Homo-oligomer: A and B are copies of this chain.
Amino acid sequence: MVVFAGQGDARRSMALLWRTPGPGEARPGPKPGLSVDVIVDAAIAVADADGMAALSMRAVGERLGRTGMALYTYVPSKSELVDLMHDRVLGELPVHYGLEEGWRAAATSWARDAWAFYLRHPWVLQVSQARPVLGPNEYAMLETVLRILRGTGLEAGVLRRVVGTLFHFVRGVAQTAAESRQAPATTGVSDDEWWLARSALLREAVPDFADRFPTVAWLESGAVEAPVDEDEAVPYLEREAKKTFEAGLTVLLDGIEAAVDRAGLPSR
């Protein structure tokens, strides 16, 4: 489920996102029993607990002791609610990273924080990035990363793409890790069980595997690693994703350093 943003009245969305004060005067009618804030918080709680698929207007309403329809007084539609959830939760990300140890150390810290954030709120990865909602925390996050990477001295046009690449990388790998974490819960099968069953079936269905995919077979034969210092509480696939993340981050930052060197600037 990719959720798109801001279909409704764009001006109202902006006002909700940036908290432009509304009418604000005393008005007739019953006192509001809810508010946009408590609704957004409840929605985030639902999504954190049971995933985006479980995020329904009813579920959010019931968490607040109302029906689903009650929310429509405060929020124009589910789509806008998702926008608000997204921007709100992005506020958890740190925004201050010291540059005393150079941009590379700061960028590494940020990437790791973002990684942890995405695993804490995996549903964020299902909100479409194509047309960002342009909320305050989204800009704060962009500002943070730009400030860090401006230290590279790269020219603005290049910088923008480098930042985009970094975002996409973190999101991409985190997405796989998040789905790995979600899978055992929704399917009731642990990673190890799953992998064991699947590879057995694969051998059965494809006896000539090693002939058809020699390089894959070579890779898997050499895949046995010393299980040193592994956190057994973290399931296999998620551990793998984390390793890919760390390795990929190194590669990516090496590549950025290469770009900096090529531009004839000192690395720090």
Assess whether A131 is in contact with B183, with CB atoms less than 8 Å apart.
yes
Interface flags, A184-217, vs B, CB<8A=1, else 0: 0011000100100111011011100100111110
Chain B residues whose C-beta falls within 8 Å of the C-beta of A156 in the assembled complex: 218-219, 222-223
Q: Considering the complex, give the chain B residue whose CB is closest to the CB of A182.
A: B130
Residues facing B in A1-49 (CB within 8 A) are: 1-2, 4, 7, 10-11, 14-15, 17-18, 20
| A56 in the interface (beta carbon within 8 A) | no
Chain B residues whose C-beta falls within 8 Å of the C-beta of A206 in the assembled complex: 18, 136
Interface of A is mostly: helix
Please tell me which one of the listed residues B159, B198, B204, B244 contacts residue A165 in the complex, with CB atoms under 8 A apart: B244
Assess whether B176 is in contact with A169, with CB atoms less than 8 Å apart.
no
Residues facing B in A154-179 (CB within 8 A) are: 156-162, 164-165, 168-169, 171-173, 175-179
Beyond A2-B53, A136-B212: 5 further Cβ-contacts under 8 Å?
A4-B179, A130-B237, A139-B216, A165-B252, A254-B255
Assess whether A219 is in contact with B160, with CB atoms less than 8 Å apart.
yes
Assess whether B247 is in contact with A161, with CB atoms less than 8 Å apart.
yes
Total interface residues on A, CB under 8 Å, equals 87
In the complex, A235 Cα to B101 Cα: how many Å?
A: 40
In the complex, A30 Cα to B251 Cα: how many Å?
A: 58
Please tell me which one of the listed residues B134, B197, B215 contacts residue A150 in the complex, with CB atoms under 8 A apart: B215
In the complex, A157 Cα to B225 Cα: how many Å?
A: 8
- CB-CB under 8 A for A168 and B165, given A129-B176, A194-B131: no
15 interchain pairs, CB-CB under 8 A = A14-B204, A131-B179, A131-B191, A136-B206, A139-B212, A139-B213, A143-B215, A157-B223, A162-B248, A164-B173, A165-B252, A168-B248, A251-B256, A254-B258, A255-B258
